[in-house]
Amino acid sequence: MSKIKGIRSERELFHKFWSNGWACLRTAGSGSTSFPAPDLIAGKGGRLLVIECKSGAGNYRYLDKKEVEELCFFADAFGAEAWIGARFDRVGWFFVPARELTQSGPNNFVVHLKHVSEKGKKFEDLTA
């Protein structure tokens, strides 16, 4: 996935939160600092979400183990929920709790379209 496509997807989700009554902050340069930083932080009515976003054309989204661990660390420090937002072209966004990801190797996790379409949450369910 290109960096530009990833940024576009993050911005899409950022605007979706704001359009649905949530405050949202996009962390520019997440992944380029030595400190944990999620892609998005969203909150409403005392509920706080930190989200790592992945998007692309195929049926799989891969995450490094370190990336997921840092997201969970950040969520714990903020008292927030850690989520992975996976956008699939022509299908849309699905969300899975970061702590419920499927490990695909010793140092990475995978989000599969078939799995998240059955067990993940759509945006409307996540924000309900």
Sheet bearing 60-64, strands edge to edge? 60-64, 108-112, 102-105
Q: What is the pLDDT along the chain (128 residues), one digit of tens a residue?
A: 467 778 899 999 999 999 999 999 998 766 667 788 999 999 999 999 999 999 988 999 999 999 999 999 999 999 999 999 999 999 999 999 999 998 999 999 999 999 999 999 999 999 99
Q: Which pTM was predicted?
A: 0.93
Q: Tell me the catalytic residues.
A: 30
Q: Buried (b) or exposed (e) across 26-48, using 16+ Cβ within 10 A?
A: bbeebeeeeebbbbbbbbeeeee
Q: Give the whole-angstrom CA distance, residue 61 versus residue 124.
A: 21
User: What are the sequence ranges of the domains in the chain?
Assistant: 3-126
Distance CA 13, CA 38 (A): 13
Topology annotation, domain 3-126: Trna Endonuclease; Chain: A, domain 1 (3.40.1350)
Q: Angle at Cα 11 formed by Cα 90 and Cα 18, nearest 5°? A: 105
